[in-house]
Structure 1
Amino acid sequence: MIAIEREFNAYLDQVDVITVLLPYSYFEGTSNEFRLKGEGVDLPLAIQEKVLLEDAVKYICLCSIRPELGKTYVILDEHGGQTDLQIGAVIRTEEFDSLFFYGGDDLGVSHTAERTIFKLWAPTATKVKLRLFKEDDETPELFDMNRADKGVWHIEVDRNLELYKYSFMVCINLEWREAVDPYATALTVNGEYGVVIDTENAKAAHIDVAKLIQPVDAIIYEVHIRDLTMHPHSGAIRKGTYLGAAEADTKSANGMETGLSYIKNLGVTHIELLPFHDFEGVDELDRARDYNWGYNPVHYNVPDGSYASDPEDPYNRITELKQLINAIHFQGVGVIMDVVYNHVYIREESPFEKIVPGYYFRHDAHGLPSNGTGVGNDIASERLMARKYIVDSVMYWLNEYHVDGFRFDLMGILDTDTMTAVRNAVNTVSPDILIIGEGWDLNTPLPPDRKANISNQSKLPGIGQFNDWFRDSIKGSTFNIYDKGYALGNDRYLEAAKQVMAGSVGIGKRKHGLFLQPGQSVNYIESHDNHTLWDKLKISDPDQDEAILKKQHRLATSMVLLAQGIPFLHSGQEFFRSKKGIGNSYRSPDEINWLDWDLRDANMDNVEYIKGIIDIRRSNEVFRLPDNEQIRRRMGFLQLPVPLIGYALTEIEDRGHWEKIIVFINPTMDQHLVELTEDTKWSVLADHEKASAQPFRHIDGDKVLLEPCSLFVLAK
């Protein structure tokens, strides 16, 4: 990029408003007239307002014509000085959006053996060149691209360009910038250039998995690709890679199943993979040196090369990711893709900012980039071409890689219209595709009623949101590690615990819930973020016997799985996963982050218990009620001493198994004898030691003894 020296500056801030900034060092910041000159244009500007700033005088001028974006103009003052007219705040106006929205589906590269067409949306550019080369040591070819309607630049090269590397040179405000194609679907190592590929050579066979009847039928298990296999006893050969994660029938040091086979046999329906689109933080040529979760997005439509066996081969990461997805599908499990459309790694280096400066990122009232994400930039999803990009990208992953759902990181940064557009687009392929997201209320300059957060869930039907009310009520505050929730014995959370177990839709005296429908509530107590539940337990109660902590952990995890809504488990949660007390391990070493298969082997009794709870949920649809009306009608809470919870699930019709199921929850350190709803023979599905969809014992009478820190599930 070439730096331009200017004595003063002029900006197009609206389609017909030009702002001129004269520094006091330049004729004391004074000029009584300005003119606009360009090709076939020479006319005066009408000064509307003069504002004294700290280091300059700002002149707001009205132009009698609309300067044509993509053309070069100069502004002259009364002293004979001149400067180029730069693109200013006009880029963020609704007029700009409506003038330059491009609805075509052909941005990026369209390749055949005979020709390749390149298209780039760059409405504020005055010139664009395609930079093309095959070998790193050869002199690149430069092609002038042609401007068409809506600011789309294009060129057709009539030869086979498979495996050619390319970038775009874009001239804006007299400065040349080089950028990778935001729509690139293949990259060189570490994402330095886009690569032209033949989509036929990147295809792979795929297996479809069974469709969900309702979102609440899902049980989500969150995994980091590298964490799954890096432990010395994972049994995987190709550790830390797509292919390593795809290995089936792997065994631990004790000969017990690990990896995909293990996850499938837990009984979960979906694996949610932490971000695998191209991200910064790990050198693809030296991946063992660094670790990263993947929330540093750079290129959105290409798999990251740090998980590939050969990151220098543009096809390799594509085909190996498809092999992983296919291997998961072969197990009968769906794949949810964690997507990070709310920010980029570094705004100034992003292709978005280089190609259309100021457009794709949200700015505050002072014209500075906003920072609701906490990483220096927020994607302006409300802008039409930013929204289009997100929808296009989601549909690319859906159609090309056959994923089964999307988890939106920091979804509260995005706007409700964008998330609705995503849901509607995905529905054209399959309405059973899961969409969930983090609906936190973040400090970004978007009107409160437009944020895609929990407060606006009524505008987001068909989109699940991580339920922090559930999380903090059951385990205690995530941000106060010493705060204990209901499952840890704090009766202050009793009423909240009842509400969240009922899907957070509002029951009893609470007529309105956090959500309209249970399918919007993603229930969890642990994820990749923050401390694991085990670490919170150890830190908040360091002198407690580990046997008690394990009971509390088991109880809390079971409550996730038996609550109405969509249950979400962090990988390893079922065997007391620890990160050695580190809460934010996004770049901690493998030894902190990996799934410890020795720890799993040592806690198989708890794994089997959680498998049993999952089996109970999947075998009885009354734990998966699809709407709020059924929850209110079929789920009734019992009168029990504080802080016990008991509820009956009735009108059971599936499989003809049961007329009624009762769940008791005892978070205390004491035994409690409680009365049942009737004196009859009851089948036990879960107690303090065992859980199974098939009864493993029976009790007679109208009372049952609840053991400390446990639950009891009975059926008749």
Structure 2
Amino acid sequence: MLNISRPFEAYLDEMRTITVLVPGNRTDCFGPPFLLEDEQGKESGLLIKETRELKEHRKYVLESEGPVPLGRVHKVRCRGSEWTDLQIGAVIRTAEFDQAFFYEGTLGAIYSRERTIFRVWAPSASAAMLELQSPDGTQKTVLQMVRKHKGVYEITVDGDMNGWMYMYHIYVNRERFRTADPYAKAVTANGEKGVVLDPDELKVEKHDPQAFQSPCDAVIYEAHIRDFSIHDESGMQYKGKYLALTEEHTETAGGFSTGVSYLQELGITHVEFLPFNDFAGVDELDPGTSYNWGYNPLHFNVPEGSYSLDPQDPKKRIIELKTAIQALHKNGLNVIMDAVYNHVYKREDSPFERTVPGYFFRHDEFGFPADGTGVGNDIASERLMARKFILDSIRFWLEDYDVDGIRFDLMGILDIETVRRIKQLAERVKPGVLLFGEGWDLNTPLPDGQKAALHNAGNMPGIGFFNDRFRDAVKGSTFHLEDRGFALGDVRKKAAVQDGIAGSPGFLSPQQSINYVESHDNHTFWDKMAFCLQEDQKTKRLRQRLSIAIVLLSQGVPFLHSGQEFCRTKQGNQNSYRASDQINRLDWKKRAALHGDIEYVRKLIALRKAHPAFRLRTPGEVKKHLSFLEETKEAIAYRLYHIGKIDGWNEIIVVHCPFAKKEELKLPDGKSYLLYCDPFTFFQEMVPVSGWLQLNGIGTYVLYEPKGIF
């Protein structure tokens, strides 16, 4: 960018409003009257609406005779014939601008073998150029683009441009911004340049994913692509890469299943991967030297290159990711992508900011970039072209990559209308798609009633929310490490856990409640126990099982963090977003050592999937079929009843016990049941229980009344 010297500053802040800042020590040289001059030298008067003395400037608020056309260079003159260029200011964040320049058409590089059309939305620019470079790098040219309607710059380049690299030069406020295309679908290594590719060369064989009638039928398993296979004992050849997800029948040295085969055995339905769109934090040409979770988005519509076998080949990362997704589909697993539409890695360097400076991000009342995300910028999803980008991107991932769900990072930054539009679009493109996110209430300059936050969940039907009340009740506070939840022995959390078991009525509907106790964020359950409890390893493993059982047998949508089922530890690291592989990797050796705990979780998942009574969809159904037993002060006991028409059993009783002492629980109406499991065993043969249930350890007990006589 240029270092431009101006005698005074003039900004277009509304379509007819110009703000002039005159240096305080030079007001005798510059000042009224002010004139606006267009490119042809035609002048028009500017009416002074306000004058204000600032610390170092005198401020004039001026009004033009009509809206000032964008896309042209204008001058503001003052007395003495001094002039300055009219810079594009806050006008681009006005509703009038949004309506005037909203563009509904296709953006980016639109390829055919005969020609490629390049379109970029840059309404505040006075000019735009297209820089092209041949695949072998020997040819380079820069072409003038033509401004079309709605602020779109366009050029058609004849010939087959397959493999050509491209960038835009955008001229705003007498500065040139060289940038990649916000709509790029392929890039060079580390996302430096966009690449034109032939879509026909990027197709892979498709397999139908498993269909679901309700989010409550899902069991979500969160994983990081690199973590999943990088361990020495993973048994996978393509460690840390997309193609590890295509490997079948992998196992540890001791013969225990790993990878996709392990996920199949475990019984989960959806794998949610941390971000796999192009991100910063890992050098794609030397990925082993650094690590990152991926919440540093660079290009939203391009796969991350560090997971590819050849990040220098723009095609390979695309084909490898598509192949991995279809391999998971083939093996009966659905794929959820973690999407980060709330911020970018560095605002100043992002293609958004370099094509339309100031538009795509929220600013506070003083004009500074908002920081509700905590990373220096908040995407302004409520603006029409920002919303369009998000919707276009989601359609692209659903259609082109065939993903089956989207998890929205910091969804509370987004606005409700955008989230509603996402739901409508996703259901049209791929019915049954899972949509959920983090509904935290963040300090972003958006009216409270417009935030896609938990407290507004009722305004976003069909959208799931991470249920932090459930998490904190079972596990204990995320922010106070010493605080223990119910599964860690604090029975004072009993009522809060019961509320979560019942689907969090009045807070969320069951289909919106993502029930979890750990994720990639914060301490794992095992690491929190290490801080909170002075108990032996055997007891802690029972508590780990208990927490998972509460998640899997509650009304709502169960969510597991990869490795949680075998007591995953990150060595006490509560924010491992750029820690080493040693901290983050999925420990397949531990998977082998704790195969008994895994088998317990596998059977719990099978129990949930086999019985619709654990997957009720509405608050009304839960109220009709679930009630709590109050025969114990500390354990939680509940009954699923009148379920014969929807379930294979007539009645189910679940007991979650957080203590080791022995206690008897009186069963309802003196009835007899069969014991399905206790904290230690899933029973193969019928174990009748009449009148009373003996609680003999920390964990979960499931009893049932079968149909017919036993």
TM-score normalised according to structure 2 size: 0.98
| Structure 2 equivalent of residue 16 of structure 1 | 16
Q: State yes or no: 1:227 paired with 2:227.
A: yes
1:142 aligned counterpart, secondary structure: strand
On the 8 A contact 1:464/1:522 being kept in 2, the answer is yes
* Aligned residue runs from structure 1 range 505-584, under 5 A: 505=505, 513-515=506-508, 517-541=509-533, 543-584=534-575
d(CA) in 2 for partners of 1:131, 1:434: 39
1:328 paired residue number: 328
Aligned to 2:653: 662
What is the one-letter code of the residue matched to 1:661?
Answer: I
1:595 aligns with 2:586: yes
| Per-residue CA distance 1:541-573 (angstroms, 9 max, x = gap) | 2x3211111111110111000010000000000
Secondary structure (helix, strand or coil) at the match of 1:25 reads helix
Counterpart position of 2:100: 99
Give the conservation status (yes or no) of the 8 Å contact 1:651–1:659. yes
Which runs of structure 2 are paired with 1:436-447 in the superposition (5 Å)?
436-447=436-447
- 1:152 to 2:152 alignment: yes
CA displacement at 1:537 relative to structure 2: 0.2
Alignment partners' CA distance in 1, 2:436 and 2:628:
29
* Aligned residue identity for 2:515: N
1:702 aligns with 2:695: no
Query: Counterpart in 1 of 2:704?
Result: 715
Compare 161-170 and 485-494 and name the one that shifted more: 485-494
Matches within 5 A, 1:399-414: 399-414=399-414
State the AA in 2 paired with 1:431: P
* Deviation digits for residues 308-361 of structure 1 (CA, Å, limit 9, x no counterpart): 001111100000001110111111010000000000000000000000000000
3-state SS of the aligned residue for 1:522?
A: strand
| Higher deviation after alignment, 583-592 or 545-554 | 545-554
The structure 1 segments of at least 4 consecutive aligned residues displaced by more than 3 Å after TM superposition are: 27-30, 135-139, 653-656, 678-681
Q: Is the 8 A contact 2:380 2:414 kept in 1?
A: yes
Q: Any residues of structure 2 matched to 1:384-403 within 5 Å, and which?
A: 384-403=384-403
Q: CA RMSD in A?
A: 1.2
Equivalent AA in structure 2 for residue 384 of structure 1: L
1:312-351 alignment runs, 5 A limit: 312-351=312-351
Who is 2:708 aligned against?
none
Report the alpha carbon displacement of residue 136 of structure 1 after superposing the two structures with TM: 6.4
Q: What is the alpha-carbon distance in structure 2 between the residues aligned to residue 377 and residue 623 of structure 1?
A: 41
* Letter of the 1:56 counterpart: H
Secondary structure of the structure 2 residue equivalent to 1:288: helix
| Aligned partner of 2:639 among 627, 636, 648 | 648
Q: Which residue of 1 aligns with 2:627?
A: 636
Aligned to 1:77: 78
> Quick check: 1:9–1:83 contact (8 Å CA) kept in 2?
yes
Counterpart Cα distance in 2 of 1:448 and 1:52: 34
Q: Compared with structure 1, are the counterparts of its residues 136 and 160 closer, same or farther at alpha carbon in structure 2 (3 Å cutoff)? A: closer
Which residue number in structure 1 is paired with residue 46 of structure 2? 45
Worse-matched range after superposition: 669-678 or 654-663: 654-663
Aligned residues: 704
Q: Is contact 2:416–2:452 with CA below 8 Å preserved after alignment?
A: yes
Q: Which amino acid aligns with 2:56?
A: D
C-alpha distance in 1 between matches for 2:600 and 2:499: 25
Amino acid paired to 2:688: I
Q: How does 1:161-172 map to 2 (within 5 A)?
A: 161-172=161-172
C-alpha separation between the residues in 2 aligned to 1:80 and 1:590?
64
Q: Which amino acid aligns with 2:665?
A: V
Q: Supply the distance in 2 between the matched residues of 1:626 and 1:24 (Cα, whole angstroms).
A: 66
Distance 1:652 1:129, change over 3 A: same
* Distance apart, 1:681 and its partner CA: 3.9
Counterparts of 1:566 and 1:699, CA distance in 2: 31
Alignment of structure 1 residues 684-699 onto 2, 5 Å: 684-691=675-682, 696-699=685-688
Query: 1:430, 1:276 → 2: CA distance?
Result: 20
Match in the other structure for 2:475: 475
- CA deviations 1:186-214 (Å, max 9, x no partner) are 10111100000000000111111121111
What is the CA distance between 1:29 and its match in structure 2?
A: 7.8
Aligned partner of 2:526: which letter? W
- SS where residue 66 of structure 2 aligns? coil
SS of the residue aligned with 2:687? Answer: strand
- C-alpha displacement at 1:35, in angstroms? 0.7
Indicate conservation of the 8 Å contact 1:681/1:698, yes or no: no
Secondary structure at the counterpart of residue 141 of structure 1: strand
Relative to structure 1, the CA distance from residue 365 to residue 691 in structure 2 (aligned partners, 3 Å threshold; closer, same or farther) is farther
Deviations 1:277-313 (A, max 9, x none): 0000000100000100000001000001000001111
Map 1:176-325; keep pairs closer than 5 Å: 176-325=176-325
Instruction: Please tell me the residue identity of whatever aligns with 1:164.
Output: W
In the alignment, the residues of structure 2 paired with residue 79 and residue 491 of structure 1 have an alpha-carbon distance, to the nearest angstrom, of 80
CA positional deviation for 1:30: 5.4
Distance, in Å, in 2 between the alignment partners of 1:188 and 1:311 is 8
State the Cα deviation string for residues 642-690 of structure 1 (Å, max 9, x = none): 1221111012246763110001111123121011114444222221112
Following superposition, the deviation at residue 450 of structure 1 comes to 0.3
1:427-454, Cα deviation, whole Å (9 max, x unpaired)? 1123300000000000000000000010
Quick one: which of 603, 606, 611 aligns to 2:602?
Answer: 611
Q: If the length of structure 1 is used for normalisation, what is the TM-score?
A: 0.97
Match of 2:611 in 1: 620
> In the alignment, is the contact (CA less than 8 A) between 1:284 and 1:305 conserved in 2?
yes
Q: Is the deviation greater in 655-664 or in 314-323?
A: 655-664
Structure 1 residues 216-260: Cα deviation after superposition (integer angstroms, max 9, x where no partner): 001000000000111101001111000123211111121111011
Paired residue secondary structure (2:222):
strand
CA distance in 1, matches of 2:254, 2:232: 12
Cα contact 1:9–1:21 (8 A) shared by 2? yes
Distance 1:140 1:230 in 2: 40
Write the distance in 1 (CA, Å) between the matches of 2:540 and 2:169. Answer: 59
In 2, distance between residues paired with 1:443 and 1:50? 32
- Identical aligned pairs, as a percentage? 46
Q: Which amino acid aligns with 2:575?
A: N
Alpha-carbon separation, structure 2, partners of 1:93 and 1:707: 66
Counterpart AA for 2:588: W
1: CA distance between counterparts of 2:13 and 2:317? 43
1:703 is aligned with what amino acid?
W
Rounded Cα–Cα distance in structure 2 between residues aligned with 1:655 and 1:256:
36
1: CA distance, partners of 2:65 / 2:131: 38
Does the 8 Å CA contact 2:30/2:79 hold for their aligned counterparts? no
SS at match of 1:36: strand
Residue equivalent to 1:497? 497
Distance 2:280 2:358 in 1: 22
Contact map agreement 1:22 1:29 (CA 8 A) in 2: no
Uncovered stretches (5+) of structure 2, i.e. residues with no partner: 706-710
Local SS of the residue matching 1:61: strand
Q: Which amino acid aligns with 1:73?
A: H
Correspondence for 2:143: 143
**C-alpha contact (below 8 Å) 1:612/1:690 kept by paired residues:** no
Where does residue 66 of structure 2 map in the other structure?
65
Aligned residue in 1 for 2:421: 421
Contact map agreement 1:666 1:707 (CA 8 A) in 2:
no
Contact 2:675 2:689 in 1 (8 A): no
Q: 1:28 to 1:531 in 2, by over 3 A?
A: farther
> 2:346 and 2:634 mapped to 1: Cα distance?
49
Change (3 A) 1:29 1:234: farther
Distance (whole Å) between structure 1 residues aligned to residue 593 and residue 250 of structure 2: 17
User: Is the CA contact 2:612–2:646 (under 8 Å) kept in the aligned structure 1?
Assistant: no
C-alpha spacing 1:395/1:29, structure 2 compared with 1 (3 Å): farther
